[in-house]
Amino acid sequence: MPKKPKPHQLLVEGKNDRHVIWALCNQYQLPETFSVEVAEEKGTEGIEALLAGLPARIDEPKLQTLGIVVDADQDLLARWQAVRNRLMESGYQTIPTVPPPDGGVYTQPDKPKIGVWLMPDNQLPGMLEDFVAHLIPSDDSLRPKAEAIVQEIEQFNLNRYTPIHHPKALIHTWLAWQETPGMPMGQAITAQVLNYNAEIANKFVEWLKRLFELADTSK
């Protein structure tokens, strides 16, 4: 039996995004009023699956609120335009041409409320791992070492990953050197190896609160 769609949903590209967001919601004690859904289309995940399935998801009869979290990747404005085009095709008329720094939240009569966040911060190109790198404590002594080793292997063309995945290499190198080596990013937030209270995390959580109209239960 297919699962019943939730009225309030946060749509993400992959499982890592979901676990990071779950961990942040737990640390900030947000009420569990929305689900975090991994976009999937014909058995695949990622941005193409998310964009392809967006119109059908918006048309779900019970849907009241939909948040969309995607990586900006190399071209922030191109990614924003891709999401904006899909939303406008679905009847949303007030989506601006550039992403708001604090994340967008939009309403349209007879449509679900929509929110959009481009990782890492709606202003710079990048991805989830860039967002998570901002959660490394500012006084951490291992980060410069991790940055140096990643740069060194790239300088000598020893890296087997593409340049766009530099942030993934950096954060996972740093995580590999912690007391519990190689823990996933979400677990590192839960264990407070990463600083969940960093400015970028605060901004993201404030966007979630605006979108889902959440009361602050952390105080």
Per-residue pLDDT, 44: 83
In a domain, 145, yes or no: yes
User: How many structural domains compose the chain?
Assistant: 2
Q: Which residues of the chain have pLDDT under 70?
A: 1-5, 215-219
Structure tokens at 33: 């009023």
In a domain, 217, yes or no: no
If asked whether residues 89 and 50 sit together in one domain, one would say yes
In a domain, 218, yes or no: no
Structure tokens at 40: 């999937």
If asked whether residues 176 and 117 sit together in one domain, one would say no
If asked whether residues 121 and 146 sit together in one domain, one would say no
If asked whether residues 152 and 114 sit together in one domain, one would say no
In a domain, 107, yes or no: yes
If asked whether residues 99 and 147 sit together in one domain, one would say no
Per-residue pLDDT, 41: 77
If asked whether residues 52 and 103 sit together in one domain, one would say yes
Per-residue pLDDT, 47: 95
Full DSSP string of 103-156: -EEE--TTS-EEEEEEETTSSSSB-HHHHHHTTS-TT-SSHHHHHHHHHHHHHT
Q: What is the model's pTM?
A: 0.93
Structure tokens at 148: 């140096």
In a domain, 120, yes or no: yes
In a domain, 219, yes or no: no
Reduced to 3 states (helix: H, G, I; strand: E, B; else coil), residue 78 is helix
Beta-ladder partners of 71: 119
Structure tokens at 4: 């019943």
In a domain, 63, yes or no: yes
Reduced to 3 states (helix: H, G, I; strand: E, B; else coil), residue 180 is coil
In a domain, 15, yes or no: yes
Residue 61 gets which letter from DSSP?
T
Name every residue whose Cβ is closer than 8 Å to that of residue 37 and which is 6 or more positions away in sequence.
6, 9, 10, 11, 12, 18
Cα-to-chain-centroid distance, residue 159: 26
Per-residue pLDDT, 218: 47
CA 109 to CA 181: how far, in whole Å? 49
CA 32 to CA 142: how far, in whole Å? 35
Host domain of residue 141: 137-185
How do strand 35-38 and strand 8-12 relate by DSSP bridges? Answer: parallel
If asked whether residues 158 and 112 sit together in one domain, one would say no
